[in-house]
Amino acid sequence: MLPVLIVAATLAAQIPTPADSSRRARTDTLERVTVRAVRAGGAAPLSERTLTRDELQRGYSGQEAPLLLTRVPGITAYSESGSFTGYSYLRLRGLDQNRVNLSFDGIPLNDPEDQAFYFSNVPDFANSVQSVQVQRGTGTSAFGTASYAGSVNFQSLDLAAAQRGGELQLSGGSFDTRRAALQWRSGLVGGRWAMAARATSHQTDGFRRHSGNNASSGFFSAAYYGNRDVVKFTAFAGLSKLRSSYYAADEATARTDPRANPMGLNERDRFSQVFWNLQHVRAVGAHAVWTTTIYRQGAGGWFDVAVDPELWRFNLSYSWYGALSTYSYRRGAVAFDAGAHVMRYHRDHFLEVWPALDARVYDNTGRKDEQAAFAKLQVTRGRATWFGDLQLRRAGFTYLPDRHAGVAGPSIDWGFLNPRAGVTWRQTPALSLFASVGAVRREPTRDDMFVGADNLDATNAASILPLDHVRPERVTDYEAGFAWVRSALRVSANLFAMEFREEIAPVGALSLTGSPLRVNVGASHRRGFEGELRWQAARGVSLDATLALTDARINRFVDASTSTTYRDVRSRLTPRAVATQAVEWKLPQGFALQAEARELSESPLTNTGNRAAVLPGYVLADAALSWAHGASAVTVRVNNVLDRIAFGGGYASGGANYVFPFATRHVMVDLRRTF
């Protein structure tokens, strides 16, 4: 077990308020104020789902966070290794993860340069999460990268509301997977202080050959609760040492040998990540709360790639500072939130070639800064709740080339105005209906602008510059739906139409790391239906089912690699249908049975309409038996019970299909002991 200290602080909990009514500032905990400012409230006219800690922990064995979110309509996820860890990714309505706004207690997580976040860098991240809200579509304004496909907001563990005590978690199973996590919470001490800590070690060989991970992480949080103020420190960190599997195997090989990995034993990576923030929450009068947060994130490491006949080591290291502030006001029928965010980021890129790891082939830096502000107003009149949201965002990127590059460093700026509006109508106490429209623009990533290159110099400048050859993409999102809630039954459904202009879409060619390169494709759309049902069918028996139907098409584009014009083609990696079903049956003597199934239809591997370039559909099922007695609990989980060969992602290249498999049937055992 590799111990790693992680210093972190969770936003804290209920503040003891004095008898003076002017000081009873909040009915909810002040630790959730920033989260509330970026999340959707109960009356917001949006398509969203919030998963509680109990839902996240059901069947949890250390999976990376994307793999826990597949009960949300429209989300698909897979990992490159085929197992629980090792670069996992989610797609929302078929759009890739760097178009999804990711945040932790309202603080942005997406790397400003790539607009991505790699959960493999912080293993066991989900173990320090109290809840997750997924907003589909443009949602509400949040800090950081644009909520283009949607947003995923993680809320850290409650502190003051937690009971004093600890928990030991031990997991083990197939592929020599082992996890040990120890966590402890103080509860509220002396009415003023609370803290929590976690340390985790996680090892696995991975499902695919030599795709394992040796990782460790930690979490620490502490808060002080005054009469009108809360001061909190939050941090987490992780270290991951992976054997690479980011190249897919061709489909014919993967069907006969699902564990095949075309990458060599010497192709590895090692990355660490640290996150911390310090937050001050101040109750202003009886109805408002002001929150100010400063944060820092840092990550660094390397990955080795075989570029025949050599082994190249790409090095990345970034530092990211920011500050944000929110003001939240609640009084009667009016709710108002406003926020502002500033940040500065830089990432160093350099290349070394084995065995000369003390000589850099190149060394360059990307810098990005951002300023943003938003205001949201929600007003209830009679049965109707009206909602308006306006965000102003500016981002700028500057490139500092290697001193031998022979080119000047280019820069580019973008400015965006993103409006949203909607209404929720309460037809009856049980039935509500909503409609909304939102428009969002989003800048390209560095990889988009650099056509997959890691270094810009005189040899490739003509094919890359100017940086505005890939233009910002924009979407107008129309949503309408309903929610019907009874004591034992909740049914919700929505229709959506996402109309894109200048969508940045894959063109078919691949970068060195297997990522499809992307360009603007003009007009495109994603339209469909999403529904979910949650039913307490009987005492101890609960059902959870979701369905997402999506028609995703590109009207017309010219493939950059072949100059071929394509019309009315389906969008890459967007299945027409995604369905999930889950049932839990609580039995006497502390036993419980759980079963889950996920079904996806086939989806294209390219944007060319090639019927041969298709990712096959699949049905996967998992089952678990758990037992809890007093302070102890045991869960035995069988994943992929039917032992199906199935693929979660892939790409097409050179006339062949390349796919990332899900692990075949495997078993995990989890032991938990509280103290």
- Give the integer Cα–Cα distance in Å for 187 and 185: 6
* Burial class of residue 630 (count of CB atoms within 10 Å of its CB; 0-12, 13-18, 19+): exposed
pLDDT tens readout for residues 560-603? 777 889 999 999 999 999 999 999 999 999 999 999 999 999 99
Please answer whether residues 66 and 129 qualify as being in contact, where contact means their C-beta atoms are separated by less than 8 angstroms.
no
Residues 6+ apart with CB under 8 A from 391: 141, 372, 373, 374, 416, 417, 418, 419
Q: For the residues 621-635, what does the mean pLDDT come to? A: 96
| Residue pLDDT, tens place only, 338-380 | 999 999 999 999 999 999 999 999 999 999 999 999 999 999 9
pLDDT at 335: 94
**Tens of pLDDT, residues 154-169:** 998 888 888 899 999 9
Of 274, 351, 279, 286, residue with least CA distance to 320: 274
Confidence of residue 9 (pLDDT cuts 50, 70, 90): very low
Residue 26, pLDDT score: 36
* Superfamily in which the 21-674 domain is placed by CATH: TonB-dependent receptor, beta-barrel domain (2.40.170.20)
Per-residue pLDDT of 511-560, as tens digits, reads 655 566 788 998 999 999 999 999 999 999 999 999 999 999 999 988 77
Residue 298: partners with Cβ closer than 8 Å, 6 or more residues away: 273, 274, 317, 318, 319, 320
Question: Is the N-terminal amide bond of 309 cis, ω within 30° of 0?
Answer: yes
- In this predicted structure, what is the pLDDT of residue 32? 65
pLDDT tens for residues 395-433?
999 999 999 999 999 999 999 999 999 999 999 999 999
Q: Which strands sit side by side in the sheet containing 647-653, from one edge to the other? A: 249-250, 656-661, 647-653
User: Where does the pLDDT of residue 94 fall: very low under 50, low under 70, confident under 90, or very high at 90 and above?
Assistant: very high
Residue 258 confidence (pLDDT) above 50? yes
- Band of the pLDDT at 8, cuts 50, 70, 90? very low
CA distances from 395 to 168, 398, 448 (A): 44, 10, 16
Are the C-beta atoms of 350 and 364 separated by less than 8 Å? yes
Average pLDDT over residues 479-502: 96
Q: What are the extents of the domains in the chain?
A: 21-674
Kindly report the number of other CB atoms within 10 A of residue 626's CB atom: 21
pLDDT at 450: 92
Confidence category of residue 4, pLDDT binned at 50, 70, 90? very low
Cα–Cα distances in angstroms (integers) from residue 638 to residues 207, 585, 602, in the given order: 15, 16, 25
Alpha helices, H only, 469-570: none
Sequence-distant (6+) residues with CB within 8 A of 95 are 148, 149, 526
User: Could you please report the per-residue DSSP string of 149-163?
Assistant: SEEEEEEEPPSTTSP
Mean pLDDT value across residues 652-667: 94
What is the reported pLDDT for 356? 94
Highest mean pLDDT among 7-16, 39-48, 310-319, 501-510: 310-319
Helix H segments across 63-177?
Answer: none
**Please, which residues have CB within 8 angstroms of residue 238's CB and are 6 or more apart in sequence?**
4, 6, 121, 122, 123, 124, 125, 215, 216, 217, 218, 272, 273
Alpha-carbon span 167 to 56, nearest angstrom: 16
Tell me the mean pLDDT in the region 26-30.
Answer: 44
- Higher per-residue confidence, 624 vs 15: 624
pLDDT greater than 70 at residue 631: yes
- Write the CA distances from 610 to 255, 604, 606, integer angstroms: 21, 8, 7
Sign of CA dihedral 5, 11, 17, 23: positive
Vertex 477: Cα angle to 471 and 480 (nearest 5): 175
Q: What are phi and psi of 384, to 5 degrees?
A: -100, 140
Look at residue 200 and tell me whether its pLDDT is greater than 90: yes
Average pLDDT over the chain, rounded to whole? 91
